[in-house]
Amino acid sequence: MDIRFEKNAVIFGGIDCFDLEKSCSCGQAFRWRPFGDGQLGIVRGEPVLITREGSSVVINGASPASAAMWMHYLDLGRDYASIEAKVAADPRLSCCFPEAHGIRVFNQEPFEALISFIISQNNNIKRISGIIERLCTKCGEPVAFMGETLYAFPAPERIAALTESELTALGSGYRAPFIRAAAERIAGGYDLEKLRDMELAEAREELLSFLGIGPKVADCVLLFSLQHTDAFPVDVWIDRAVKALFFEGNKFKKVELYEAVSSLGEYSGIIQQYIFQYARKNLGGKA
DNA sequence: AGCCAGGCTGACG
DNA sequence: CGTCAGCATGGC
């Protein structure tokens, strides 16, 4: 991989195994949207239009100073080809391709992931995106970019300053008090970054102490923002897929699921995202 | 028109 | 420890 800078763009060359559109729409992140021939979004207050040109990833609007941040966000330093090769060689999982091919697991900003996945519980991706977008429009910093107005994900204090009824008005429903409480706790000084270097089980316990965060949401936060690539979120889609792929359609217990899945190794969370994609494309309805 | 969604809480055995 | 109703909302 190489990096070069052009006027108003950072360009990463030699990137394979990266389907930009798929990675942005697979349900790991909720704010990217198609724009022109790329994806428009804003991360840590920095608006960009990402496009692919051959084997290059072009971050239009990014400054040289943020190159490292974008490389980390898109997880460009990881060898996905070898991870995919391992999955393709597993007879239980090879069926996840080609649908899952090219998905990279992004490293999102932790507070954004925390709030986003609190909102995600018992909810669908389309509606989750809508709620988050209305939240950002309501109290995020506006930034003009490419003729559009984008809104940064709000700082914790901004969300903590909202009333429950204001949060409910965004469509968040019964999750409003969870969102408020989490934002207050972060604004009050709780440092999510400390979870990055903790053992998975310990970091998980920490997140479970938040009201409205259970095992699934905790694993999402750890996988999608804090680099715990072995965190394995289990939602209804994954439950269906694991039942079909690992248990031959038979009933199983939660502990058996985690046992089976832990054998997938240190990148089981990334593999989880392949399975999730497979499930959403192939296991619609009750299985 | 119901059923469902990147589930969790609190109550009860 | 495991089970389970109830939960706001709107997409399909």
pLDDT in tens, A208-258: 999 999 999 999 999 999 999 999 999 999 999 999 999 999 999 999 999
Instruction: Summarize pLDDT for A2-50 with one digit per residue, the tens.
Output: 999 999 999 999 999 999 999 999 999 999 999 999 999 999 999 999 9
Q: What is the pTM for the complete model shown?
A: 0.98
How many angstroms separate the CA of A94 from the C1' of C10? 35
The DSSP 8-state label assigned to residue A119 in this structure reads: H
pLDDT band at A286 (very low <50, low <70, confident <90, very high): very low
Residues 235-264 on chain A lying near strand C, CB distance under 7 A: 255
Residue A5 CA to residue A224 CA, distance in Å, equals 27
**Nucleotides in chain C near protein beta carbons (<7 Å):** 2, 7-12
Mean of the pLDDT values across residues A104-110? 98
Residue ranges per structural domain of chain A: 2-77, 110-213
Map residue A226 onto helix, strand or coil: coil
**CA distances to A44, A45, A135, A151, A154 from A140, in Å:** 11, 9, 7, 5, 4
How many angstroms separate the CA of A195 from the C1' of C12? 38
Please determine, looking at this structure, whether the domain spanning A110-213 carries the CATH number 1.10.340.30: yes
pLDDT band at A284 (very low <50, low <70, confident <90, very high): confident
pLDDT at site A234 = 98
Give the residue from A211, A232, A237 showing the smallest Cα distance to A221: A232
Map residue A171 onto helix, strand or coil: helix
How many angstroms separate the CA of A124 from the C1' of B6? 8
Nearest nucleotide to A275, CA against C1' atoms: B6
What are the backbone angles phi and psi of residue A110, rounded to the nearest 5°? -60, -40
pLDDT band at A287 (very low <50, low <70, confident <90, very high): very low
- A193 pLDDT exceeds 90? yes
CB within 8 Å of A98: residues ≥ 6 apart? none
Give the residue from A278, A274, A284, A276 showing the smallest Cα distance to A17: A274
CB within 8 Å of A180: residues ≥ 6 apart? A159, A160, A162, A164, A167
Mean of the pLDDT values across residues A67-89? 98
Give the Cβ contact number of residue A62 at 10 Å.
22
Residue A143 CA to residue A44 CA, distance in Å, equals 12
pLDDT band at A285 (very low <50, low <70, confident <90, very high): low
Instruction: Summarize pLDDT for A130-186 with one digit per residue, the tens.
Output: 999 999 999 999 999 999 999 999 999 999 999 999 999 999 999 999 999 999 999
Report the Cα A51 to chain-centroid distance in Å.
Answer: 19
Residue A265 CA to residue A5 CA, distance in Å, equals 37
A214 touches strand C (CB under 7 A): no
Contact A43, A35 (CB under 8 A): no
Just give the CATH number of A2-77. 3.30.310.260
Using a 7 A cutoff on CB, list residues near strand B.
Answer: A 26-28, 117, 120-128, 174, 210-218, 220, 233-238, 272-273, 276, 280, 286
Mean of the pLDDT values across residues A55-63? 98
Mean of the pLDDT values across residues A103-107? 98
pLDDT at site A159 = 98
